[in-house]
Amino acid sequence: MGQLDLFYPLLISSVLTFLFAFAVKSWVWMLISGLLIFPNAWYFSGYPAYGFVILLPIIHVMFAIVFYRYRIKKNSIDY
């Protein structure tokens, strides 16, 4: 991404944190993954053919919500 050469480090770290978040079902790591992929998604959404890429971090947020609700449901006690 520009002069900083952050495209591949952000992409690789986002994929690794995404996989780790799925392995441990962590909503925090899923949000971190979404934050890491956001600059790449924002950069590619400027191209007309790839405008939908800006929605990619929303998928991460949706998974984070699912994992958060799963954690609450798992920790609740039914009487």
Residue-wise pLDDT tens digits, 39-63:
989 888 888 887 888 899 999 999 9
Neighbours of 60 (CB within 10 A): 24
What's the confidence (pLDDT) of residue 27? 93
Residue 21: closest CA among 55, 71, 76: 71
* CA–CA separation, 23 and 19 (whole Å): 6
Distance CA 75, CA 54 (A): 34
Q: Is the pLDDT of residue 23 over 90?
A: yes
Say how many C-beta atoms besides its own lie within 10 A of residue 46's C-beta: 10
Mean pLDDT of 6-15: 92
Share of the chain above pLDDT 90, in %: 56
Percentage of the chain beyond pLDDT 70 is: 92
What integer pLDDT is reported at residue 77 of this predicted model?
62
